[in-house]
Amino acid sequence: MTLHSVLPAALPAHLPAHLPPHLPAHQSAALPDDLTDPAPPHPADDAPALPVLDLRQADDPETAESFRTALREATHGHGFFYLVGHGADAALVDRVVATARAFFALPEEAKLAIENTRSPHFRGYTRVGGERTQGKVDWREQIDVGPERPVLPSGPTQPAWGVLQGPNLWPEELPALRDVVDEWTTLMGAVADRLLREWALSLGQAPDVFDPAFGDAPAWLTKVVRYPGRVEGGTDQGVGWHNDFGVLTLLLVEPGRRGLQVEYQGEALDAPPLDGALIVNIGEMLEWATDGYLKATRHRVLAPEPGTDRISVPYFHNPSLDAVFPRLTLPADLAARAPGVARDADDEEILDEYGYNALKSRVRAHPNVVEAHHPHLAAGVVRA
């Protein structure tokens, strides 16, 4: 069992009216006999470029099997999809976005009082310009929140990833932020657990095959992010091309705010927010588990137009820091379509022990925290 075991019973009342009651045929296609990948769908001009899945179909015995096939194919093909029917209602989404905006509107001193340079655990506020992807500055500010567990002892016999565990930093001026992030995180954890069971079944595994990797100490991460508008002559990198380093990501994007792009067959596909939908993508641990059958797809966010901004809240569903993620034995027809594990977006190896995989990404992204607290990691993370 993981910490998140209960899905909310209520279904959202705010689903977009234009979504079809059933998945389009291409999303529930059975595996072709000759084991080659099906031709990618050619969406109509106004159709989303990524598949749209409805989690309620997993509850209905009539549609559960086709839901699982669609889930597996979406994340073998694109590695990204839209998810509706997830149970987060519109009022909660509005509250998350409004509270995020209230946080970023606090005076600079209030935000800097919880700057991540005050946390050896990579928690707290990152100012604009404080983060890097592929060595270049990202044009975004954010607060990073993770599970609150006791600080681990450090020392030569302790694994280096122990530094990721510790308390969060919350703004005193806005207690509502903690409440809404907690509520959102609990809900997203339950949705992610549910999806992982469906993935496991779709890959010919027992539904609980991933549970031991999460145990009773999953190292989830919730980020509340604001991308300010571009400035004249400035970067257009909201966040640069990267893979997510965990298991899977559930992303809430403020309605109407574009900018996310997803790499697909060598091109950058736009992935604008879809009303009522979360954007889901898999992380490097699922690519590892499936020998590349499921893909941790590269993505980036372009900085918004000058004078505008964009809020997003990615929830990263991650196993416990000491988990060595399982390498699944896939059914032969799927194994035949598994190309092997790629290198990450910085051309480094993906590591199977989750804590090291997470630490290497955190160290690359937050050189200011490394300089302040972990100078010995500046040359890179060495696995014990």
Ligand X SMILES: O=C(O)CCC(=O)C(=O)O
For binding to ligand X (CB under 6 A), which residues are involved? Answer: 223, 225, 239, 244, 251, 253, 260, 299, 301, 312, 314
Q: Locate tokens 């993508």: which residue?
A: 281
Helix H or strand E encompassing 355: helix 354-365
28 binds, among ligand X, Fe ion, none (CB under 5 to 8 A by kind): none
> In terms of CB distance, is 191 or 334 closer to ligand X?
191
Distance between CA atoms of residues 6 and 23, nearest Å:
25
Distance between CA atoms of residues 330 and 94, nearest Å:
41
Six token digits for residue 221: 């991460």
Distance between CA atoms of residues 345 and 295, nearest Å:
13
CB of 284 to ligand X, least distance (A): 12
Sequential DSSP letters for 119-172: -TTS-EEE-TTS-EETTEE---EEEEE--B-PPPP-STTS-GGGGG-B-----T
Size of the site for Fe ion (CB under 5 A): 1
CB of 251 to ligand X, least distance (A): 5
223 binds, among Fe ion, ligand X, none (CB under 5 to 8 A by kind): ligand X
CB of 249 to ligand X, least distance (A): 7
Asked if 288 and 222 count as a contact pair (C-beta separation under 8 A), the reply is: no
- Terminal C-alpha separation, the chain: 29
Six token digits for residue 30: 């059975």
CA distances from 356 to 148, 338, 351, 383 (A): 19, 24, 7, 7
**Is residue 131 involved in binding Fe ion (CB under 5 A)?**
no
**Is residue 244 involved in binding Fe ion (CB under 5 A)?**
yes
247 binds, among ligand X, Fe ion, none (CB under 5 to 8 A by kind): none
Asked if 366 and 131 count as a contact pair (C-beta separation under 8 A), the reply is: yes
> In terms of CB distance, is 67 or 354 closer to ligand X?
354
> In terms of CB distance, is 2 or 297 closer to Fe ion?
297
> In terms of CB distance, is 283 or 319 closer to Fe ion?
283
List phi, psi (to 5°) of 125. Answer: -90, 130
CB of 42 to ligand X, least distance (A): 25
> In terms of CB distance, is 2 or 133 closer to ligand X?
133
> In terms of CB distance, is 71 or 345 closer to Fe ion?
345
Region label for 195, one of left (φ > 0), alpha (ψ between -120 and 50) or beta (otherwise) = alpha
**Is residue 141 involved in binding Fe ion (CB under 5 A)?**
no
> In terms of CB distance, is 74 or 260 closer to ligand X?
260
Helices 90-104 and 175-202 cross at an angle (nearest 10°) of: 130
CB of 168 to ligand X, least distance (A): 17
Checking DSSP bridges between strand 80-84 and strand 278-282, what pairing results, if any?
A: antiparallel
CB of 147 to ligand X, least distance (A): 18
CB of 127 to ligand X, least distance (A): 16
CB of 221 to ligand X, least distance (A): 9
CB of 365 to Fe ion, least distance (A): 11
List phi, psi (to 5°) of 331. Answer: -55, 150
Looking at the DSSP bridge assignments, the partners of residue 53 are 83
Stretch that binds Fe ion, among 55-63, 184-192, 238-246, 282-290 (CB under 5 A): 238-246
Site residues (CB under 5 A) for Fe ion, limited to 48-67: none
One-letter amino acid identity for 166? G
> In terms of CB distance, is 73 or 244 closer to Fe ion?
244
Compute the half-sphere exposure of residue 155: CA atoms within 13 Å on the CB side of its CA. Answer: 4
> In terms of CB distance, is 120 or 241 closer to ligand X?
241
**Is residue 344 involved in binding Fe ion (CB under 5 A)?**
no
Which residues contact Fe ion by CB under 5 A? Answer: 244
